[in-house]
Amino acid sequence: MKKVLRVRISEHVVAKDHERLKSYGLGSCIGLVIYDPQKKIGAMAHVLLPNAAGARARPKSAKYASSAVNLLVEELARAGCGGKTLLAKIAGGANMFPEKFNLSCGGPGRSIGERNVRAVKAALARRKVRLVSEEVGGECGRTVEFNPRTGEMIVYKSSGEVKVI
Amino acid sequence: MPVTAEKLSHAQEDALQELCNIGMGHATTALAQLMAKTIYFDIPRVSQVRISRVPEIIGGARQVVVGVYLRFSGPINGNILLVFPKKSALMLRQIMTGDNSKKLAFDEYNTSMLKEFGNILAGSYLSVMEGLLKMRLVHSVPWFAFDLASAIVDPILVELGKDADESVVIEAEFFVRETPELKGKFYLLPDNRSVKMMLEAVGMGGAG
């Protein structure tokens, strides 16, 4: 029997064997997975913001892109997964209110979703974790499910489309 | 460190509820004139929850809904979100335009109508707040989305999450009695610091 572990905003969860990791209704948030394909252990974070604003930030939180990557790498190391074999997959980072961000409508030009995607990618590069696949951007909400045994991430888009990355 | 909001006392929750009650009363009257139908609303609910729980309050990821979102700013800042079930959003068009076609797509005409509904509701709600709180408030243009409720609420959580891990959610359901399918929900999510200012403005600051 598979067991689904839910990952809410700003949370992170580690899973193995028959466990699945699931984040519901990602808009501009990112469902970030880092996993060890040999040990078949994976961890998911539900990232809300690209980075912490100033000194108010809590450093160890899955809320922010960079701290989420660090947190997942450390959690996986604790679970016995080596740094070099780790792979990453990401989904989300959509622009839910296109008019709010478009330059033509007086927006900042780059949506929070795009900024989240960039920040997660930069953080992965810093920790030398290879990003193997992604399903990001657009204007569509997503629910994601990750299977640590197969390394597959199922992306259910609100349009009805289902993708396996 | 993020601002850890003080737990609201019952009296403070009641004050926020009453503010919403007055605002919604005014706003639904304005909408009733537009729609030529009486709009009712349920007693508002005030909750103080972790940001990670807000998507579930708004409706989660079970189905796609229509969301109309506005930011307001001034001495206090925050977010107003209207959420309509898809069917209600389409009925609204029928009622406001007399168009009975069953077409379910949200074209430009439809979305601007829903945005205008949000504009009127938010505008009249905020004008009441201005009077009660004795301050000037401005609001953004309304933004439209048709997606999972929990995805729609993300941009609001981004605003709230910048300096807090908790949020106050003030919600009220509105409906047309003779057309029960026509309903929606109003959400007011003030920025963390603004909750305190709202309470102080009505003499409910401090420890309550």
Reported as a pLDDT band with limits 50, 70 and 90, residue B63 is confident
pLDDT grade for A56, boundaries at 50, 70 and 90:
low
DSSP string for residues in A64-77:
BHHHHHHHHHHHHH
Per-residue pLDDT, B122: 93
What average pLDDT does the segment B166-176 reach?
Answer: 92
Interface of B with A (CB under 8 A): 1-3, 51-53, 55, 60-61, 64, 67, 69, 140-141, 143-145, 147-155, 157-158, 161-163, 165
Output the pLDDT for position B61. Answer: 80
* Across A33-61, average pLDDT: 83
- For residue B206, pLDDT beyond 80: no
Please state, in angstroms and as integers, the Cα–Cα distance from residue B139 to each residue in A35, A104, A117, B118, following that order: 44, 19, 29, 11
Of A10, A26, A53, which has the smallest distance from its Cβ to B51's Cβ? A10
pLDDT at B102: 63
* A47 CB-near residues (< 8 Å, 6+ apart): A29, A30, A31, A32, A62, A63, A64, A65, A68, A92, A116, A120
Q: Which residues of B touch A24 (CB under 8 A)?
A: 55, 60-61, 148, 150
pLDDT above 60 (res A16): yes
Backbone angles phi, psi at B120, to 5 degrees: -70, -45
Task: Flag if A48 and B161 touch (Cβ within 8 Å).
Answer: yes
Contacts of residue B119 in chain A, CB cutoff 8 Å? none
DSSP at B3? B
Contact B51 A9 (CB under 8 A): yes
Q: Quick check: helix, strand or coil at residue A158?
A: coil
pLDDT at res. B38: 87
pLDDT (tens digit, 9 = 90+) per residue, A78-127?
999 976 889 999 999 999 988 776 655 555 667 889 999 999 999 999 99
Residue from the list A53, A94, A97 with its beta carbon closest to the beta carbon of B143:
A97
The predicted pLDDT at position B208 comes to 41
DSSP states along A7-58? --TT-EEEEETTEEEEEEEESSSEEEEEEETTTTEEEEEEE-BSS--GGG--
- Residues sharing a CB contact under 8 Å with residue A26, sequence separation 6 or more, in sequence order: A46, A91, A92, A94, A141, A142, A143, A144, B151, B154
Burial category of B125 from C-beta neighbours within 10 Å (exposed 0-12, middle 13-18, buried 19 and up): buried
pLDDT tens by residue, A133-158: 999 999 999 999 999 999 999 999 99
Question: Are B61 and A29 in contact (CB < 8 Å)?
Answer: no
- Reported CATH class of domain A3-164: alpha beta
Residue predicted with more confidence, A12 or A61? A12
Chain A environment of B2 (Cβ under 8 Å):
56-58
Q: Which residue of A has its CA nearest to B140?
A: A100
Chain B contact set for A22 (CB, 8 A): none
* pLDDT at A75 (0 to 100): 93
Specify the pLDDT at position A105. 53
Mean predicted confidence (pLDDT) in B35-40: 84
Active site residue A29: yes
- A24/B60 Cβ within 8 A: yes
Residue A32, phi-psi category: left (phi > 0), alpha (psi -120 to 50), beta (remainder)? beta
Task: Classify the C-alpha dihedral A103-A107-A108-A114 as positive or negative.
Answer: negative
Neighboring chain A residues of B57 at a CB cutoff of 8 Å? none
Look at the domain B10-199 and name its fold.
Chemotaxis protein chec (3.40.1550)
- Cα Rg of chain A (Å, integer): 15
Cβ contact A100–B143 (<8 Å): yes
B155·A49 Cβ contact <8 A: no
Which residues of A fall within a CB distance of 8 Å from B152?
27, 96, 141
Residue of B nearest to A47 (CA): B158
Name the residue among A63, A105, A158 with its Cβ closest to that of B148.
Answer: A158
Predicted confidence (pLDDT) at residue B207 exceeds the cutoff of 60: no
Residue contacts between A and B (CB atoms, under 8 Å):
101
- Taking a C-beta distance cutoff of 8 angstroms, is the pair B171, B49 a contact? no
Q: Do B147 and A141 touch (CB under 8 A)?
A: yes
Q: ipTM score of the complex?
A: 0.84
Q: Are B22 and B84 in contact (CB under 8 A)?
A: no
Nearest to B107 by CA among B64, B65, B144, B154: B144
| pLDDT digits 0-9 by tens, B86-120 | 888 888 877 777 777 666 567 788 888 889 989 99
* A96 vs B51, B147, B161: nearest CB: B147
Q: Quote the crossing angle between the two packed helices A112-126 and B154-161, to the nearest 10°.
A: 60
How far A53 CA sits from the closest chain B CA (Å)?
7
**CA distances from residue B148 to A96, B77, B137 in whole angstroms, order as listed:** 10, 25, 30
Please tell me the predicted confidence (pLDDT) of residue B96. Answer: 73
CB–CB of A143 and B2 under 8 A? no
Mean pLDDT of chain B: 87
Closest CA to B142 of A132, A100, A148, A103: A100
User: From the CB of residue A159, how many other CB atoms can be counted at a distance below 10 Å?
Assistant: 13
Q: How confident is the model at residue B1 (pLDDT cuts 50, 70, 90)?
A: very low
pLDDT value of position A118: 93
Q: What pLDDT, on a 0 to 100 scale, did the predictor assign at position B149?
A: 94
User: Residue B9 has what DSSP assignment?
Assistant: P
Mean pLDDT of chain A: 89
Average pLDDT estimate for B31-47: 88
A52-58: average pLDDT = 59
Q: Residues A110-124, buried b or exposed e (16+ Cβ, 10 A)?
A: ebbbbbbbebbbebb
Contacts of residue B200, defined as CB under 8 A and 6 or more positions apart, other chains included, come to none
